[in-house]
Amino acid sequence: MVGRSRCFSCGKNLSWFELIPILSFIIQRGRCSPPAGGCGSKISWQYPIVELITALLAAVLNFQWFYFAAFCALLLVAVYDFRHKIIDKHFLYIFAGFAIANLIYRNIEISKYLYDFLHAAVIFAFFYLLWRVSSGKWMGRGDSDLAFFLALFLGHPLSLFMVLFSFWFGAIVGILLLLKKSGRFTIKSEVPFGPFLAFGAFVSWYFKDFLLMIYEFLYF
């Protein structure tokens, strides 16, 4: 979309008071406002939800601008995958820049750079094989690329927790959807895995001190 923000249904240009995060959605009751010349069509819940998540990220990260920007880029990847069931490479490359920058910032010794890179390559290979063996039924091709850059961003061993958490969260959501018995979701339904990878990565990063303590206790 080029130019001003507008309604996807009627094409009406949106005024500033219709673009206030969350508040505008509530005031307009989730519709393109008829009093302002709108068509009254429903506005997707995606917009206030993403706005709320972004606000929560800013609060939780205490305005650490680098990480806030990095996770906002990751949020774009996750939301696009959720809506279209594909990892958008443009959003992924933006996050990749943050991942590489964090890798450089995090490490000092050359051997550590190589170790984290090789570890990320192993995680990439794991997801790639899941995609290859299942012919795309278990995992999407783009998930392996996302997993690679997430592993670079987190480093070892946090990337291991990221993989573990993503499968846990995916399994829990899948079971809940099956139990719902709405008819819209079955065991063969396609569920995008990118959002679970993103959430697993955020949880691993946010609780990194606690998780590293657990790792050191178990293996050292």
Whether pLDDT at 112 is above 90: no
Q: Average the pLDDT over each of 145-149, 171-175, 176-180 and give the range with the smallest value.
A: 176-180
Reported confidence tier of residue 126, pLDDT bands at 50, 70, 90:
very high
| Residue 6, phi then psi, degrees to nearest 5 | -150, 165
Per-residue pLDDT tens digits for 53-62: 998 999 999 8
What distances in angstroms separate CA 117 from CA 5, 99, 100, 110, one per listed residue?
Answer: 41, 11, 10, 11
Mean pLDDT of 61-72: 91
Query: How far are the Cα atoms of 3, 57, 68, 202, 220 from residue 54, in angstroms, in the given order?
Result: 23, 5, 9, 13, 37
pLDDT at position 187 over 60: no
Q: Is position 32 within any domain? A: no
213 inside domain: yes
Q: What is the pLDDT of residues 78-87, one digit of tens each?
A: 999 998 899 9
CA 133/CA 101 separation, integer angstroms: 33
Within 13 Å, how many C-alpha atoms sit on residue 206's CB side?
15
pLDDT of residue 183: 60
Average pLDDT over residues 161-171: 95
Report the percent of the chain where pLDDT is more than 90. Answer: 50
- The answer, yes or no, to whether residue 148 has pLDDT greater than 60, is yes
Considering the domain boundaries, does residue 100 fall inside one?
yes
Residue 100 has pLDDT above 60, yes or no: yes
The Cα 207–Cα 128 span in angstroms is 27
Q: What is the pLDDT of residue 48?
A: 81
Residue 132 lies in a domain: yes
pLDDT value at residue 26: 76
In a domain, 101, yes or no: yes
Rounded-to-integer distance, Cα 125 and Cα 19, Å: 43
Sort residue 181 into left (φ over 0), alpha (ψ -120 to 50) or beta: left
31 occurs within a structural domain? no
Residue-level pLDDT at 174 = 82
**Helices H / strands E in the chain, number of each:** 9, 0
pLDDT, mean of residues 104-113: 79
Kindly state whether residue 12 falls inside one of the protein's structural domains.
no
State the residue range of the domain holding 149. 46-198+206-219
Q: Is residue 43's pLDDT more than 90?
A: no
Residue 11, pLDDT > 80, answer no
Q: What's the pLDDT band for 1 if we cut at 50, 70, 90?
A: very low
Report d(CA 13, CA 29) in Å as an integer.
Answer: 18
Number of domains in the chain: 1
CA–CA distance from 108 to each of 56, 112, 122, 202 (Å)? 32, 7, 22, 23
Q: Looking at residue 163, what is its pLDDT?
A: 96
- Residue 159 falls inside a structural domain: yes
Q: Is the pLDDT of residue 40 over 90?
A: no
Tokens of 20: 């206030």
